[in-house]
Structure 1
Amino acid sequence: MRLFVALDLPDAVREPLAAWRADVPDARWVPAERLHLTLRFLGETSEGMTNAITGHLERIRRRPVPIATGDLIRLPSARRPRALAVRVNETAPLGALVSRLGEALGRAGAPAADHELLPHVTLARVRQPDPAAIRKALRGLDPPEAEGVATSFSLVESRQTPDGPEYVTLLRVPLAETPTASGG
Protein backbone atom coordinates (compact mmCIF):
# COMPACT_ATOMS: atom_id res chain seq x y z
CA MET A 1 0.00 0.00 0.00
CA ARG A 2 1.21 3.51 -0.84
CA LEU A 3 0.53 5.61 2.27
CA PHE A 4 0.79 9.15 3.57
CA VAL A 5 -0.37 11.05 6.64
CA ALA A 6 -2.39 14.18 5.87
CA LEU A 7 -3.86 17.05 7.81
CA ASP A 8 -7.54 17.19 6.91
CA LEU A 9 -8.33 20.70 5.63
CA PRO A 10 -11.31 22.52 7.10
CA ASP A 11 -13.96 23.68 4.61
CA ALA A 12 -12.93 27.31 5.24
CA VAL A 13 -9.59 26.47 3.61
CA ARG A 14 -10.60 23.72 1.17
CA GLU A 15 -13.50 25.52 -0.55
CA PRO A 16 -11.74 28.75 -1.61
CA LEU A 17 -8.68 26.81 -2.77
CA ALA A 18 -10.81 24.38 -4.78
CA ALA A 19 -12.67 27.28 -6.42
CA TRP A 20 -9.48 29.09 -7.51
CA ARG A 21 -8.25 28.29 -10.99
CA ALA A 22 -5.84 29.88 -13.42
CA ASP A 23 -5.60 29.27 -17.16
CA VAL A 24 -2.35 27.30 -16.94
CA PRO A 25 -1.48 25.21 -20.00
CA ASP A 26 -1.67 21.45 -19.42
CA ALA A 27 -2.64 21.77 -15.74
CA ARG A 28 -4.78 19.12 -14.05
CA TRP A 29 -6.51 20.73 -11.08
CA VAL A 30 -6.91 18.68 -7.92
CA PRO A 31 -10.59 18.04 -7.04
CA ALA A 32 -11.79 19.55 -3.76
CA GLU A 33 -12.14 16.17 -2.06
CA ARG A 34 -8.43 15.38 -2.69
CA LEU A 35 -7.01 18.64 -1.32
CA HIS A 36 -4.91 18.03 1.78
CA LEU A 37 -1.67 18.96 3.51
CA THR A 38 0.73 16.02 3.52
CA LEU A 39 2.38 15.76 6.92
CA ARG A 40 4.46 12.69 6.08
CA PHE A 41 4.79 10.57 2.95
CA LEU A 42 5.35 6.91 3.84
CA GLY A 43 5.39 5.32 0.39
CA GLU A 44 4.95 1.59 -0.13
CA THR A 45 4.10 0.03 3.21
CA SER A 46 3.42 -3.59 4.14
CA GLU A 47 0.18 -4.62 5.82
CA GLY A 48 2.03 -5.44 9.05
CA MET A 49 3.73 -2.03 9.10
CA THR A 50 0.40 -0.36 8.30
CA ASN A 51 -1.17 -2.05 11.33
CA ALA A 52 1.71 -0.89 13.56
CA ILE A 53 1.48 2.65 12.20
CA THR A 54 -2.28 2.73 12.73
CA GLY A 55 -1.89 1.60 16.32
CA HIS A 56 0.61 4.36 17.11
CA LEU A 57 -1.19 7.14 15.23
CA GLU A 58 -4.54 6.52 16.88
CA ARG A 59 -2.96 7.21 20.29
CA ILE A 60 -1.81 10.72 19.34
CA ARG A 61 -3.62 13.43 21.28
CA ARG A 62 -3.13 17.02 20.10
CA ARG A 63 -5.13 20.20 19.98
CA PRO A 64 -6.68 21.45 16.71
CA VAL A 65 -4.21 23.11 14.33
CA PRO A 66 -4.84 26.61 12.93
CA ILE A 67 -4.19 26.75 9.18
CA ALA A 68 -3.49 29.87 7.10
CA THR A 69 -2.44 29.79 3.46
CA GLY A 70 0.29 31.93 1.96
CA ASP A 71 1.71 32.47 -1.50
CA LEU A 72 1.62 30.34 -4.62
CA ILE A 73 4.67 28.14 -5.16
CA ARG A 74 5.84 25.97 -8.04
CA LEU A 75 7.28 22.56 -7.18
CA PRO A 76 9.88 21.19 -7.31
CA SER A 77 11.07 24.59 -8.60
CA ALA A 78 10.05 27.52 -10.80
CA ARG A 79 12.43 26.19 -13.47
CA ARG A 80 10.76 22.73 -13.47
CA PRO A 81 7.19 23.35 -12.30
CA ARG A 82 5.48 19.96 -12.10
CA ALA A 83 2.97 21.18 -9.49
CA LEU A 84 1.30 24.40 -8.42
CA ALA A 85 0.72 24.67 -4.70
CA VAL A 86 -0.19 27.15 -2.02
CA ARG A 87 2.16 27.46 0.92
CA VAL A 88 0.71 26.85 4.39
CA ASN A 89 2.16 29.08 7.08
CA GLU A 90 4.29 27.20 9.58
CA THR A 91 2.97 27.52 13.13
CA ALA A 92 3.94 26.09 16.50
CA PRO A 93 0.86 23.80 16.64
CA LEU A 94 1.63 22.43 13.17
CA GLY A 95 5.28 21.89 14.09
CA ALA A 96 4.26 20.13 17.33
CA LEU A 97 1.93 17.80 15.44
CA VAL A 98 4.61 16.97 12.86
CA SER A 99 7.09 16.25 15.66
CA ARG A 100 4.58 14.03 17.49
CA LEU A 101 3.83 12.18 14.23
CA GLY A 102 7.53 11.59 13.69
CA GLU A 103 7.87 10.11 17.17
CA ALA A 104 4.83 7.85 16.74
CA LEU A 105 5.93 6.68 13.29
CA GLY A 106 9.43 5.98 14.60
CA ARG A 107 8.01 3.82 17.41
CA ALA A 108 5.96 1.96 14.78
CA GLY A 109 9.17 1.18 12.89
CA ALA A 110 8.56 3.49 9.91
CA PRO A 111 11.70 4.96 8.32
CA ALA A 112 12.61 8.54 9.24
CA ALA A 113 11.43 11.34 6.97
CA ASP A 114 13.86 11.87 4.10
CA HIS A 115 13.32 15.65 3.98
CA GLU A 116 11.95 18.52 6.04
CA LEU A 117 8.28 19.32 5.73
CA LEU A 118 7.41 22.15 3.33
CA PRO A 119 3.79 22.77 4.37
CA HIS A 120 1.71 23.20 1.22
CA VAL A 121 -1.48 22.15 -0.52
CA THR A 122 -1.06 20.98 -4.12
CA LEU A 123 -3.65 22.69 -6.32
CA ALA A 124 -2.66 21.39 -9.77
CA ARG A 125 -0.20 19.10 -11.49
CA VAL A 126 1.39 19.98 -14.83
CA ARG A 127 2.23 17.10 -17.17
CA GLN A 128 4.38 18.89 -19.76
CA PRO A 129 5.56 22.03 -17.97
CA ASP A 130 6.43 25.11 -20.00
CA PRO A 131 7.92 27.44 -17.35
CA ALA A 132 7.52 30.59 -19.48
CA ALA A 133 3.86 29.83 -20.28
CA ILE A 134 3.13 29.04 -16.63
CA ARG A 135 4.79 32.27 -15.50
CA LYS A 136 2.71 34.23 -18.03
CA ALA A 137 -0.55 32.49 -17.01
CA LEU A 138 0.09 33.18 -13.32
CA ARG A 139 1.28 36.78 -13.68
CA GLY A 140 -0.69 38.90 -11.23
CA LEU A 141 -2.75 35.96 -9.96
CA ASP A 142 -2.66 34.63 -6.45
CA PRO A 143 -4.84 32.01 -4.80
CA PRO A 144 -7.13 33.35 -2.10
CA GLU A 145 -5.84 33.61 1.41
CA ALA A 146 -7.73 31.14 3.54
CA GLU A 147 -7.80 30.42 7.25
CA GLY A 148 -9.40 27.73 9.35
CA VAL A 149 -8.76 25.17 12.04
CA ALA A 150 -7.93 21.55 11.23
CA THR A 151 -9.63 19.18 13.65
CA SER A 152 -8.25 15.86 12.37
CA PHE A 153 -5.47 14.14 10.49
CA SER A 154 -5.67 10.92 8.49
CA LEU A 155 -3.66 7.93 7.37
CA VAL A 156 -4.43 7.68 3.66
CA GLU A 157 -3.81 5.07 1.00
CA SER A 158 -3.15 6.44 -2.48
CA ARG A 159 -4.29 4.13 -5.27
CA GLN A 160 -3.21 4.98 -8.79
CA THR A 161 -5.99 4.96 -11.41
CA PRO A 162 -6.10 6.11 -15.05
CA ASP A 163 -7.97 9.22 -13.85
CA GLY A 164 -5.37 10.10 -11.22
CA PRO A 165 -4.93 9.04 -7.62
CA GLU A 166 -7.81 7.75 -5.57
CA TYR A 167 -7.48 8.39 -1.84
CA VAL A 168 -8.84 5.95 0.73
CA THR A 169 -8.82 7.05 4.36
CA LEU A 170 -7.65 4.17 6.55
CA LEU A 171 -7.70 6.06 9.85
CA ARG A 172 -8.93 9.50 10.93
CA VAL A 173 -7.58 10.87 14.22
CA PRO A 174 -9.40 13.78 15.87
CA LEU A 175 -7.42 16.79 17.04
CA ALA A 176 -9.62 17.88 19.89
CA GLU A 177 -8.25 16.46 23.08
CA THR A 178 -5.92 18.16 25.47
CA PRO A 179 -2.40 16.71 25.26
CA THR A 180 -1.56 14.47 28.17
CA ALA A 181 1.39 14.82 30.53
CA SER A 182 2.95 11.76 28.85
CA GLY A 183 3.63 13.84 25.72
CA GLY A 184 0.52 12.71 23.83
Structure 2
Amino acid sequence: MRTFVAIEVNNKDVLNSIHKIHTELNIKAKPVELHNMHFTVQFLGEVSEEMARKISDALSSLEFSPFPISFVGVGVFPKPSFPRVIWIGTDDGANELEKLAEMIHAKLSQLGLHPDKKFKPHVTIFRIKNKIEGISNKLEKFSAYSFGKQMISEIKFKKSELAPEGPIYTDLLVVKGKK
Protein backbone atom coordinates (compact mmCIF):
# COMPACT_ATOMS: atom_id res chain seq x y z
CA MET A 1 0.00 0.00 0.00
CA ARG A 2 1.13 3.58 -0.75
CA THR A 3 1.67 5.48 2.51
CA PHE A 4 2.89 8.70 4.10
CA VAL A 5 3.01 10.52 7.43
CA ALA A 6 1.02 13.75 7.52
CA ILE A 7 -0.25 16.59 9.63
CA GLU A 8 -3.65 17.73 8.45
CA VAL A 9 -4.86 21.27 7.99
CA ASN A 10 -8.21 21.21 9.77
CA ASN A 11 -8.86 24.77 10.93
CA LYS A 12 -12.01 26.03 9.17
CA ASP A 13 -10.74 29.62 8.87
CA VAL A 14 -7.46 28.47 7.30
CA LEU A 15 -9.36 26.18 4.90
CA ASN A 16 -11.73 29.04 3.98
CA SER A 17 -8.70 31.25 3.22
CA ILE A 18 -7.26 28.51 1.00
CA HIS A 19 -10.61 28.17 -0.79
CA LYS A 20 -10.55 31.94 -1.39
CA ILE A 21 -7.13 31.60 -3.08
CA HIS A 22 -8.38 28.62 -5.13
CA THR A 23 -11.17 30.85 -6.44
CA GLU A 24 -9.22 34.10 -6.85
CA LEU A 25 -6.18 32.72 -8.67
CA ASN A 26 -8.20 31.42 -11.63
CA ILE A 27 -5.36 29.42 -13.20
CA LYS A 28 -5.19 26.20 -15.23
CA ALA A 29 -4.17 23.97 -12.36
CA LYS A 30 -5.81 21.29 -10.24
CA PRO A 31 -6.66 22.58 -6.77
CA VAL A 32 -6.03 20.16 -3.91
CA GLU A 33 -9.36 19.27 -2.27
CA LEU A 34 -9.81 21.14 1.00
CA HIS A 35 -10.41 17.90 2.93
CA ASN A 36 -7.01 16.64 1.67
CA MET A 37 -4.91 19.64 2.86
CA HIS A 38 -1.87 18.49 4.84
CA PHE A 39 1.86 18.73 5.47
CA THR A 40 3.60 15.65 4.12
CA VAL A 41 6.08 14.95 6.89
CA GLN A 42 7.48 11.87 5.16
CA PHE A 43 6.37 10.06 2.02
CA LEU A 44 6.94 6.34 2.52
CA GLY A 45 5.74 4.94 -0.80
CA GLU A 46 4.70 1.31 -1.16
CA VAL A 47 4.95 -0.70 2.06
CA SER A 48 3.74 -4.18 2.99
CA GLU A 49 1.04 -4.84 5.61
CA GLU A 50 3.77 -6.05 7.96
CA MET A 51 5.85 -2.88 7.46
CA ALA A 52 2.71 -0.77 7.98
CA ARG A 53 2.26 -2.45 11.39
CA LYS A 54 5.90 -1.72 12.28
CA ILE A 55 5.49 1.92 11.20
CA SER A 56 2.33 2.21 13.32
CA ASP A 57 4.14 0.71 16.32
CA ALA A 58 7.10 3.09 15.90
CA LEU A 59 4.89 6.18 15.52
CA SER A 60 2.61 5.24 18.46
CA SER A 61 5.50 5.81 20.86
CA LEU A 62 5.97 9.39 19.60
CA GLU A 63 5.49 12.04 22.29
CA PHE A 64 5.05 15.74 21.54
CA SER A 65 3.17 18.73 22.91
CA PRO A 66 0.61 20.49 20.71
CA PHE A 67 1.73 23.86 19.34
CA PRO A 68 0.26 26.62 17.15
CA ILE A 69 1.43 27.30 13.61
CA SER A 70 0.58 30.17 11.29
CA PHE A 71 0.13 29.82 7.54
CA VAL A 72 1.68 32.68 5.56
CA GLY A 73 2.57 33.31 1.94
CA VAL A 74 2.40 31.42 -1.33
CA GLY A 75 5.28 29.83 -3.25
CA VAL A 76 6.01 27.34 -6.04
CA PHE A 77 8.12 24.24 -6.67
CA PRO A 78 10.45 23.75 -8.44
CA LYS A 79 10.83 27.33 -9.77
CA PRO A 80 8.60 30.31 -10.70
CA SER A 81 9.33 29.98 -14.44
CA PHE A 82 8.19 26.34 -14.45
CA PRO A 83 5.87 25.69 -11.49
CA ARG A 84 4.52 22.19 -10.82
CA VAL A 85 3.17 22.85 -7.32
CA ILE A 86 1.75 25.95 -5.66
CA TRP A 87 2.00 25.88 -1.88
CA ILE A 88 1.39 27.95 1.23
CA GLY A 89 4.14 28.34 3.80
CA THR A 90 4.43 28.68 7.54
CA ASP A 91 5.67 31.29 9.95
CA ASP A 92 5.21 31.04 13.72
CA GLY A 93 5.54 27.38 14.72
CA ALA A 94 7.68 26.35 11.74
CA ASN A 95 10.66 25.49 14.00
CA GLU A 96 8.47 23.29 16.21
CA LEU A 97 7.05 21.61 13.11
CA GLU A 98 10.57 20.89 11.82
CA LYS A 99 11.54 19.43 15.23
CA LEU A 100 8.44 17.20 15.16
CA ALA A 101 9.38 16.07 11.63
CA GLU A 102 12.90 15.22 12.85
CA MET A 103 11.42 13.11 15.68
CA ILE A 104 9.24 11.26 13.14
CA HIS A 105 12.21 10.75 10.80
CA ALA A 106 14.27 9.35 13.71
CA LYS A 107 11.53 6.81 14.58
CA LEU A 108 11.16 5.71 10.96
CA SER A 109 14.90 5.57 10.24
CA GLN A 110 15.09 2.75 12.82
CA LEU A 111 12.97 0.78 10.31
CA GLY A 112 15.27 1.70 7.41
CA LEU A 113 12.87 4.37 6.11
CA HIS A 114 14.68 7.61 5.33
CA PRO A 115 13.21 10.79 3.82
CA ASP A 116 14.20 11.42 0.20
CA LYS A 117 14.64 15.16 0.88
CA LYS A 118 14.81 17.60 3.78
CA PHE A 119 11.41 18.48 5.24
CA LYS A 120 10.33 21.96 4.15
CA PRO A 121 7.06 22.94 5.87
CA HIS A 122 4.48 23.68 3.19
CA VAL A 123 0.94 22.72 2.22
CA THR A 124 0.30 22.01 -1.47
CA ILE A 125 -2.78 23.87 -2.70
CA PHE A 126 -2.46 23.37 -6.51
CA ARG A 127 -0.83 20.81 -8.80
CA ILE A 128 0.08 21.96 -12.30
CA LYS A 129 0.30 19.59 -15.29
CA ASN A 130 1.00 22.00 -18.15
CA LYS A 131 3.24 25.06 -18.23
CA ILE A 132 1.51 28.26 -17.10
CA GLU A 133 2.85 31.63 -18.24
CA GLY A 134 2.89 34.72 -16.03
CA ILE A 135 1.89 32.93 -12.84
CA SER A 136 4.45 34.89 -10.78
CA ASN A 137 2.43 38.08 -11.23
CA LYS A 138 -0.76 36.39 -10.00
CA LEU A 139 1.03 34.92 -6.98
CA GLU A 140 2.86 38.13 -6.06
CA LYS A 141 -0.11 39.64 -4.21
CA PHE A 142 -0.26 36.55 -1.97
CA SER A 143 3.46 36.45 -1.09
CA ALA A 144 2.81 37.67 2.46
CA TYR A 145 -0.86 36.72 2.72
CA SER A 146 -1.91 35.38 6.14
CA PHE A 147 -4.13 32.30 5.96
CA GLY A 148 -4.61 32.03 9.73
CA LYS A 149 -3.40 29.78 12.55
CA GLN A 150 -4.03 26.24 13.72
CA MET A 151 -2.96 24.01 16.58
CA ILE A 152 -0.78 21.08 15.54
CA SER A 153 -2.11 18.44 17.91
CA GLU A 154 -1.86 15.16 15.99
CA ILE A 155 0.06 13.36 13.30
CA LYS A 156 -1.39 10.72 11.01
CA PHE A 157 -0.02 7.67 9.23
CA LYS A 158 -2.08 7.54 6.04
CA LYS A 159 -2.75 5.27 3.11
CA SER A 160 -3.10 6.94 -0.29
CA GLU A 161 -5.11 5.36 -3.11
CA LEU A 162 -4.78 7.11 -6.44
CA ALA A 163 -8.08 7.49 -8.27
CA PRO A 164 -9.03 9.39 -11.47
CA GLU A 165 -10.92 12.00 -9.41
CA GLY A 166 -7.95 12.50 -7.09
CA PRO A 167 -6.25 10.70 -4.20
CA ILE A 168 -8.28 9.00 -1.48
CA TYR A 169 -6.60 9.13 1.93
CA THR A 170 -7.37 6.73 4.76
CA ASP A 171 -6.04 7.10 8.31
CA LEU A 172 -4.10 4.04 9.46
CA LEU A 173 -2.99 5.62 12.76
CA VAL A 174 -3.59 8.89 14.62
CA VAL A 175 -1.07 9.99 17.27
CA LYS A 176 -2.29 12.81 19.49
CA GLY A 177 0.03 15.25 21.22
CA LYS A 178 0.15 15.21 25.00
CA LYS A 179 -1.19 18.36 26.63
Q: Take 2:115 and 2:141, find their aligned partners in 1: how far apart are those partners? A: 35
Q: CA deviation at 1:62?
A: 0.5
The residue number in structure 1 matching 2:136 is 135
Residues 153-177 of structure 1: per-residue CA shift (max 9 Å, x gap) = 1011111100111111111110124
The residue number in structure 2 matching 1:14 is 15
Matches within 5 A, 1:139-154: 139-142=140-143, 143-154=145-156
Alignment check: 8 A CA contact 1:54 1:171 kept = yes
List structure 1 segments (4+ residues) > 6 angstroms apart after TM superposition.
none
Alignment check: 8 A CA contact 1:70 1:88 kept = yes
Residues 89-137 of structure 1: per-residue CA shift (max 9 Å, x gap) = 3633212211210111122x1421121111100111112122x332243
Q: Take 2:124 and 2:165, find their aligned partners in 1: how far apart are those partners? A: 17
TM-score normalised by L of structure 1? 0.86
The residue number in structure 2 matching 1:3 is 3
The residue matched to 2:85 in structure 1 has which SS? strand
Percent identical among aligned pairs is 25
The residue matched to 1:161 in structure 2 has which SS? coil
The residue number in structure 2 matching 1:97 is 100
Q: CA deviation at 1:150?
A: 1.3
Query: For 2:46, which of 30, 44, 51 is the aligned residue?
Result: 44
Indicate yes or no: 2:176 matched with 1:174: yes
Q: CA deviation at 1:51?
A: 0.8
The residue matched to 2:162 in structure 1 has which SS? strand
TM-score normalised by L of structure 2? 0.88
Alignment check: 8 A CA contact 1:18 1:31 kept = no
Size of the aligned set, in residue pairs, is 175
Query: For 2:82, which of 80, 83, 89 is the aligned residue?
Result: 80
The residue matched to 1:112 in structure 2 has which SS? coil
Q: CA deviation at 1:139?
A: 4.2
Query: For 1:60, which of 62, 79, 83 is the aligned residue?
Result: 62
Unaligned runs of 5+ in 1: 178-184
